[in-house]
Structure 1
Amino acid sequence: MSFEEEWGQLKAAAAMRLNSAGDSGGSAPAKGSADYVVSDDELGDIGHAAFELFNGLESTGKHAKVASETAGTGLKSEGFDTGAAFTEVTGTWETQVKTLLQACAHISNHLDYTKASKKADDEWIETQLRIVGPVAPEADGAVPASQISKYFQ
């Protein structure tokens, strides 16, 4: 099987999994709903996993760098073409590790920002609903549910 065929099969399998993600229950919204609901705990867990991957990869992804560079340089100085190839592979590996580190940091930082932004938005909406219009005394300062929809039109 060629790389392209295997890659195509993997992409098709991933697309099927993504398309059926809401079918198994869980916290996914009802079919036909355009909303995607993610709890703060889920955002925190995903961000934490990205942060842990970043920390682990930063040290383990580079553990063989010095030995690999030394071997590549030594082989190259002895006239072996393998040395130059080994040095090139080491450089490519280092570039890929750096790219993955940047991606993990971006995911972690973005989810931290999203969580904080969502909380700030929720607090702003809550404040706006508390200060708008006449409020029923039994509502504890909040806008009654029957009145909320008129503020979102």
Structure 2
Amino acid sequence: MSFEDEWAAEKAAVAMRLNKADSTGSSTPAKGSGDYVVEDDDLGAIGHAAHGLFNGLQSAGKHADAASETAGTSLKGDGFDTGAALSEVNGTWETQVKTLLQACAHISNHLNYTKKSNQAEDDWIAAQLRIIGPVAPGRDGAVPASQIDKFFR
């Protein structure tokens, strides 16, 4: 079998899997379906947890820093190799805490941005559909659901 034949077979298999991703027939995506759905509440909860971890880790992750550094320096001054090792472990710990703090801040900030960006995009789409749609008496100018499909073909 040639590379092109193999590649075509793989693409066809992937396309078939993607087409069957949501075979429930429902317009509402089911949990575990192929549709990507994230609720604002989910984003908020994850962002809040990341922010809480950041706040707790900022103080709790550094509570032994001064004592460990003092002990390492004292042991090193008395000629013990464990003093240098303790200072090295303390430095590594500090680096790891800073990295985790940065990761938590990044997650929290990114989720806040994503939530605001998605809302802005939804608002823009709604405004565009109101502009496009014919205004019938008693309607606010929004395109009826039966007409939306024609804009995506």
Q: TM-score, normalised by structure 1?
A: 0.77
- Maintained 8 Å contact 1:136/1:144: no
Change (3 A) 1:117 1:51: same
Kindly state the Cα deviation for residue 33 of structure 1 after the two structures are TM-superposed: 3.8
1:107 alignment counterpart: 107
Aligned-partner Cα distance in 1 for 2:98–2:32: 40
Q: Distance in 2 between matches of 1:52 and 1:37?
A: 25
- Please show how residues 22-101 of structure 1 align to structure 2 within 5 Å: 29-30=29-30, 33-101=33-101
Q: Within 2, Cα distance between the matches of 1:133 and 1:38?
A: 28
Partner of 1:116: 116
Larger-gyration structure (1/2): 2
* 8 Å contact kept, 1:135–1:144: no
Task: Structure 2: give runs of 5+ residues left out of the alignment.
Answer: 1-27
The CA deviation at 1:31 is 7.1
Letter in 1 for 2:128: Q
Aligned to 2:150: 150
* Structure 1 residue 130, shift from structure 2 partner: 0.3
Alpha-carbon distance between aligned partners in 1 of 2:93 and 2:126, rounded to the nearest angstrom: 49
Query: What amino acid is the match of 1:144?
Result: P
Name the amino acid aligned to 1:35.
D
Q: Identity rate of aligned residues, in percent?
A: 75
- Three-state SS of the structure 1 residue aligned to 2:143 is coil
CA distance in 2, matches of 1:42, 1:92: 33
Q: Which amino acid aligns with 2:121?
A: D
RMSD across aligned positions (CA): 1.7
Q: What's the offset of the Cα at 1:42?
A: 1.1
Unaligned runs of 5+ in 1: 1-27
Say if 1:54 and 1:101, in contact at 8 Å, map to a contact too: yes
Distance 2:65 2:32 in 1: 50
Distance 2:47 2:32 in 1: 28
Hey, what's the Cα distance between the residues in 1 that align with 2:50 and 2:39?
A: 17
**AA of the residue aligned to 2:124:** W
Q: TM-score, normalised by structure 2?
A: 0.77
